[in-house]
Each structure stands twice: as structure tokens, then as C-alpha cells.
Amino acid sequence: MRQNSRAKNRLMNDINVVPYIDVMLVLLVIFMVTAPLMNPGQIDLPSVGKALKPPVAPLEIMIKKDLSLAMRDHSRKGGESKVSRDELVAILKARQDDLQEQSVVISADKDVRYEEVIKMMDVLKTQNVRKVGLLTQTRSK
């Protein structure tokens, strides 16, 4: 008799998941029925008077390892052309009106001293170029 009472007092250590499955199936049916009935929100976009101009492709100034300068105009689909610092200043003065909208990016070889890049940025600033950026290359994994 004593062993029989011990079996009744033992704790049950497993979970009955059947009620949880029933609740999940009921919720699944509810969502399946109501999802097609929902209307997606409609957005009324504002309209503008005239279309915005697409951004102008940048003017790239390249500083090579031997500190020579080259220029490539991406907006005119031009190739790379070697220029001196004085020629670059003359080109920037001649294209002053175009440079208000066009950005200028500096791409320098990784072995070029940082001082040379800063000097080029100073030249661009003296020519009132507002949009100046640095061009980098992403690392390949």
C-alpha cells in the first residue's frame, strides 16, 4: 500500500502541448480568413510643377603615386587627361558656372601623402568649388 501512495504523489515532468496546438490552429484559421479582406493602404503622392534635374556626374581629380595630376569629367564621358596644377586652376576658372552644380571628387593613390590631398582641397576651395568629396575603393573580401 505504501508504494501505491508514492506513485500518486510523484510530480509530472512533461508538458501537455495539445491545447497550445489547438489555439495556434484557431489563430492560423482566423488570420487566413481575415488577411484577404484587408485593403492595403493607398498613398496619394504630392505632385510637383516641373521635374527635378538629374544629378550631374562628378569631375574626378586624380593624384597619382608620382604626384602627377590627371582629370576625368564623368559628365562629358571624357577620358583621363594629364594636367598640371596651373592647367587645373585654369580649367576650374573656365567652368566656374558648371561647377556650381557639379561635384568634384579627389581620388589619390594610397601611397600619396595626406598633405597633397589637403593641398588639392585647398586649391578647389580657392576656386569656390562647393561640393568636394574623396573617392575611395571598397575592400574585397
In this structure, the answer to whether residues 78 and 108 fall within a common structural domain is yes
pLDDT at 93 (0 to 100): 80
In this structure, the answer to whether residues 32 and 65 fall within a common structural domain is no
User: Residue 122 is part of which domain span?
Assistant: 59-134
In this structure, the answer to whether residues 64 and 129 fall within a common structural domain is yes
Domain count, the chain: 2
- In which element (H, E) is residue 115 found? helix 114-126
pLDDT at 137 (0 to 100): 77
In this structure, the answer to whether residues 27 and 75 fall within a common structural domain is no
pLDDT at 29 (0 to 100): 95
> Secondary structure of the chain: what % helix, strand, coil (to 5)?
40, 15, 45
Residue 141 is assigned to a structural domain of this protein: no
Among the listed residues 53, 62, 68, the one whose alpha carbon sits nearest the alpha carbon of residue 104: 62
pLDDT at 28 (0 to 100): 95
**Would you give per-residue pLDDT tens digits along the chain (141 residues)?**
455 656 667 777 778 888 889 999 999 999 999 888 877 777 777 777 776 677 778 888 999 989 899 988 877 777 788 998 888 888 888 777 766 777 888 999 888 888 999 998 998 888 888 888 888 877 766
In this structure, the answer to whether residues 127 and 71 fall within a common structural domain is yes
Residue 99 is assigned to a structural domain of this protein: yes
pLDDT at 81 (0 to 100): 86
Statement: the pTM of the whole predicted model exceeds 0.85: no
